[in-house]
Every structure is written in C-alpha cells, then in structure tokens.
Amino acid sequence: MEEQKVSYLDGLNEVQRGAVTTTEGPVLVIAGPGSGKTRVLTYRIAHLIQEGVAPYNILTLTFTNKAAKEMKERISQVVGKRAAYVWAGTFHSIFARILRVEAEKLGYSSNFTIYDSKDTSSILAAIIAEMRLDSKTYDTNGVKARISSAKSNLISPAAYEQNQQLMMQDRKSRRPYLFRIYKQYAMRCKRAGAMDFDDLLYQMFVLLHKNPDGVLEKYRKKFPYVLVDEFQDTNFLQYSIIKKLVNYPKSPRNICVVGDDAQSIYAFRGATIENILNFKRDYPKLQTFKLEQNYRSTNHIVQAANELILHNTGQIQKKIWSFKGEGQKIQLIKAVSDSEEGRRIAGMILEQKTRYHLKNKDVAILYRTNAQSRVFEEFLRRYDILYKVYGGLSFYQRKEIKDVIAYLRLVVNPNDEEALRRVLNYPTRGIGKGTIEMVSQLANEYDTTPWAILEKANTLGFKPKAAKSLLAFVNMIKGFQRRLATDNAFELAEHVAKKSTILAKLDQDTTVQGISRRDNVRELLDGIKDFVDNDELIDEATLPDKSLPNYLQNIALLTDQDSDKENDDRVALMSIHAAKGLEFKSVFVAGMEEQLFPSFMALQEAGGLDEERRLFYVAVTRAEEFLTLSFAGSRYRYGKLNNYQPSRFLSEISEENLEQPIYSKAERQNVLGEQRSGIKGFSKPMPRRSTLGTNTNHEVKNTADYKVCKPGQIEAGLKIEHIRFGAGVIVKLEGAGKNAIVHIDFGHEVKRIVLRFAKLKIV
C-alpha cells in the first residue's frame, strides 16, 4: 500500500502535492491553464480513499459527465474498484439522483420527467398563445431566460410578483405579464410531474432548506468531503446549495474548490466570478494553492497570456510559466477583408501540415461568434481540408430521436404533457389538431392532466372516431407500461419503436434524408443496448440500474460534448466558449477587431471588457505549439461593408512574443495609455505601414465622400483607390463594354475585377 501511495504522489510537483495531501479544512486550488488540474483533483480523491475515507462519503461536482467519467477512470488506476462508489457527476446529475430518492417530500413522483430546453420553449409558447399575448414581445427565448434567471437567484413565482424591481423591469420591456407566465409554467411543470434543468438545482435547494433536520442532516453526514471542479463557473444557486451542505456548526468544512478566475467566461449563463474571488471571505481559514506551472503551451504563448490578464481589474494574482521551452513566437495575420482572412488561414493550415506534419485534428479555428464560421468553411472546402463545425445540432435534438424519446418518456410518466403532445398523432392515427386542442382545453377546465382526459375520452364529448383513436393510443401506452417492471431499457425501447410503427414509417422513406433518419433511430437503439450492457456500479449498495427511467435520466443530462463520439481527422471550427477545456497543437484566433472582439455589447456593460479579455485568455491558452491571431480591415455586416480597427487586446501583447507586431514599442505604450485613461469604445487607428506583404493600411473614413469615377475614365497607369482593397495602380484593361476586366496591383497582389462593379476612385 505504501509503495502505491508513493507512486502516484511521485508524479506531482511540490504545489500539486500540497493540494492533494491537504485534505482537512477549506482548500482553494487556483489552476492555471494546462497546469494539471484534473490530475490534482483525481489524485486528491484517491488520496482521501487511501487515507481511509469511504469513497461513498466523497461528493465531487463537475460541469460535464465526461469530466466525471474521466476522474473515476483515473481514480480507479490508484484505488481500483472502490472508485466506482465515489459520488462524482455534474450538479444536475447528482442532484437529480438525490431528488429521485427524496421526490415525495416535494410532492413529486420518483419518476418525474426532466424537461429539456425545447420542451420548456414549447410549453411557454403554448402558455403565451393561450394568454393571447404578442409572441414577438413575449418571445419564448427571452421569457425562458428570465424564468431561468429567477430560479438561479432563488426567486419563486410568488416572490417574483412581490419584487418591485423585477416588475418594473418587465414593465419597461413591455412584458408586464411575465410573472403570470412564470406562475403558469411552474404550475404546469408540477402538474405534469416534470422538472426542467433549472428545477434540478432550485428544487434541490428547496429540499435541503425545508428539511433541515431530516434530508439536509442526512446528506451532510453522507458527504463530509465535498469537491467542486471549475468553481469559477458556478452560479449563485449552485454555491448556495454547496454552502448548505458544508457550512454548519461544528462542521470540519472539508471543501476543496478548483478553478481559475482568469477562465471565468460564462457570465451570460449566470456564472458568478465573485464566488471564487470572494471565497476566502466565507472561509477565513482557507489554504490556497496556485498551480502556475504550465505543461501544455510553449513560453511565448504563456507569457502572452500573462500579459493579457494583467489588464483585468478583479483577479487572483498568479503568473504561469511554461514547462516546454520558448517555442515559436505568435504569428499575426493582417487581412484586408474577412474573405482574405479565410483564404490566408486556410493556406497557413496547409503550410503547417506540410512543414510540421500536423494532422487536421491538431488544428482549431476559434472565433467570437458562430456566424464567422462561413468564410472559413468556404476556403477549407476549396483547399480540400476536412473540417467539422462544433456547436451544431446535437444528436438528441434531432426530430426523429426526440419522437422516439417522447414515447419512452410517456411510458415512464404518462402525465408528461410535452411528450404526449409530440406523439399523440405521430405516426398519424387520425387525431387532428382540433382534437389535440380540445384535450388541452378540457385538461385546463377540469384542472387535471391531458392523460386523464384521454382515459375518459368516450365520456367527454369527443367525436366517436376521435374518442376511439384516443383510447387506442391510451391502451397502447398502457401495454408498454406493463413491461416496465420486467424489460430492461433496450428491450422496452425496441418494442416501443416497433409497436408504435415509428420504425416502419421510417423504413418507407427511401430518400437520403429518410435513410439518415432511420439510421439515427437505429443508432439510438444501439446506444440503449450499450447502456444496458455496461456493468458500471451505480452506488455502494446497489447493482447497476438498467431500467428505462434510469436511461432517460442519463440522456437528459448529456451535454453536446459528452454525446459527440466522432473522432475523424478534421480541423475544428468552434466558438471560443465551446473550446474551453480543449487543446490543440495549432490554434487560429480569428476576427481580432474592435466591436467584434471585444464585442460591441461588452463595451457597453460593466465588467464586460474584463469578461472578453478572459475569453481571449482562454483562446490563447488552447494552443500548445503554434498560435496565430488574425484581423480583417473590413467585413460585411447586415449587408453593408464596414471598416474595422485591430482589437485593443493585440496591443496588450508585447513585441517580444509576436513574430511581426503591429505596434512599435512607442505606439504600444500610447495605445495602452489611452486604454488606461478610460476612453469608452477606444479604437486605435491601424498603423499605416505594410507588413506580411499585405496592404492593410486602407481606411475610408467617410464613404459618403468617396466619389466613384466612370468606367470610361480608367486606363493603364492610373493610381486609384478601392473602397475595400485600398490604394493601387491600374496594370491593364482586358476586354471592352460591360464585361471589361481591370487588372489592379494593390502592392501585395494583382486583382482582376469587373470594371463596372469596381467602384474605383482616381487618386
């Protein structure tokens, strides 16, 4: 046993070892990018078990199922099968597990449904329509975000109505009835025996708060050791639940939180950076360990990251350093247009693949907004480079998959209104829209569930044919339910897919899309079979649960990244938010322009600029060996060509770390000085010199004064100005009339442009 302890502690540096072995009392681990955070967290859990702590007394909360699974696998390498008994999972999955056990104390069945985002949107849309409110003013996304924010701040529907500040904000946004929608939505979820993702947190807090001597005390005793990964991403509600479990009289306060304030980039989701910045206030006896040694990136990349984050106001001071040597300096692409930016990035990827033998999957193009992907997709296709855009439609969000899962949800919980509405007439069984609306109206009128209405369809005024179809549907679902106790998830799901005739309907469609939909459903069933065949232990005292209800809970809690098993050799295209936690040998960060990155909105919000800088910090630290930053002098936006200046963030990286900086030392100091002076919306003009062989000096300040010459005035040798490409010289004219082509030398290349579209100005 002693040899095993030494072996896993031996691979840690001094600070990592301290964070692992300091097991008692509150501990904060500030983990810089690439500093071995996961290793510290997993070895700490393994060390607790080696020191005699029962694995089922350790609660570890993460933000992805993938992270929890990886942790358990690593722990098992040290402590063996005991790792399976550790309570490790996402906030939502762990709390859902507890809520299943304690549901009756909240007035729910243990088989409550978990609504996903689309279910919530559908219910809200129905409520808004029934209340006859303007769907544009009360758009479902806006209403959903408002309700989510209320729950995340522990504001119930009743408390919302009494909160004058919230009610005033709603009146100003012309949505004075939002509180009624919230109240109606909460009532319908409860009536349907369903919780949405926010409820898994909200109801968990309510459960602990209302049952201090029973439930709360039970879980305090069960989890004397609590660990939280990515603590900088927690919101007010998540931290409130953690404090309930940890902060009480005579508590040893054995809490360890791991995170990096410099990588807090989810404020738009409700993440509260103050949780990590002010952690010491809640735990005065806190011991802090700073993991500053970077094992991922070369020194120029690491130093650039250090230089950037120093400009943020609120932060925990640290200075990361590289384990991998100096490496290459950061490259800078200065493009005239977004199109040229796409072309040059694609060209540089080809060059890196040839010169450094990189694979496609070693490369990522990161951007601030998903809309930026279009131009990169175009040029990667032209250069025959395989790529994948991340952030697309998740497997479990595809229509055919949601249809099958709706049937399965209905088998487990017939009161699930959303699932019922989705499949009541799918595949078609003669139940029209009017009949479905009548079911909803009667449910509201009798204050009961739509399922209860279906069960009594022959006594409630439905037309005989409709009543017959409704009762046939009820009998089919009840037939499925009778198999719940005997069939495992796969056996029942396969039976449902066949008997509901979904598979038969999909088999009839021989189009490419139809075949794809059928294959997706087959893949779903294969996934359920894999779930059933997996023998992973669930708890210290229970065998693996292969039931349909447990399967539905697992897939309801999957994230996009968890469900993505594709491992093709493709360049990754993704937003910077989606790239957090990933690493690539070569990273391109595109669109480094004012009002794009940092975004225009961020410049208008308190703390917005700091959040944008943290986002850029995350982007920079994804790179292991090669980092390339790019910006374009012009982009089309809403159909109009706009000129842009380089991002202020570029001025915060010193020329020692850039291959070809855009600013001299003097210029950089001037730029930084203007930033510190607090000029709102600061934008430094682009330096008027050509570098990297590209004329990026062009800037038309007032397009209204830009006078376009007539095509007949153009001749070889003339100096002209192009609104997008800048100053140039006419080389020659080719052809005549409306199809004449003009050849223009812009210094870095000669472009061929159709003369009548050129819009040239004679200099």
Active site residues: 37-38, 229-230, 263, 622
> What span, in angstroms and rounded, lies between the C-alpha atoms of 127 and 179?
12
Provide the total of helices (H) and of strands (E) in the chain, helices listed first: 33, 23
> What span, in angstroms and rounded, lies between the C-alpha atoms of 559 and 247?
30
Label residue 516 left, alpha or beta by phi (over 0 means left) and psi (-120 to 50 means alpha).
Answer: alpha
Q: What is the DSSP letter of 607?
A: T
> What span, in angstroms and rounded, lies between the C-alpha atoms of 535 and 557?
19
Burial category of 97 from C-beta neighbours within 10 Å (exposed 0-12, middle 13-18, buried 19 and up) = middle
> What span, in angstroms and rounded, lies between the C-alpha atoms of 475 and 336?
66
Helix (H, G, I), strand (E, B) or coil at 259: strand
User: Rg (Cα) of the chain, in Å, rounded?
Assistant: 30
Q: Which of 321, 289, 282 is nearest to 304 (CA)?
A: 321
- Number of residues assigned to the chain: 763
Neighbours of 645 (CB within 10 A): 17
> What span, in angstroms and rounded, lies between the C-alpha atoms of 327 and 626?
8
What's the CA angle centered on 317, arms 315 and 319, to 5 degrees?
Answer: 130
Which helix or strand (DSSP H or E) is residue 148 part of?
Answer: helix 140-152
What's the CA angle centered on 385, arms 380 and 389, to 5 degrees?
Answer: 65
Helix (H, G, I), strand (E, B) or coil at 70: helix
Which positions ≥6 away from 301 have C-beta within 8 Å? 322, 327, 330, 620, 621, 623, 627, 657
Q: Which of 330, 342, 304 is nearest to 632 (CA)?
A: 342
Phi, psi (deg, nearest 5) at residue 292: -110, -10
For the stretch 544-550, contacts whose Cβ atoms lie closer than 8 Å and that sit 24 or more positions apart, written own/partner, are: 546/488, 546/489, 547/484, 547/488, 547/489, 548/408, 548/411, 548/412, 548/484, 548/487, 548/488, 548/489, 548/492, 548/493, 549/111, 549/412, 549/484, 550/489
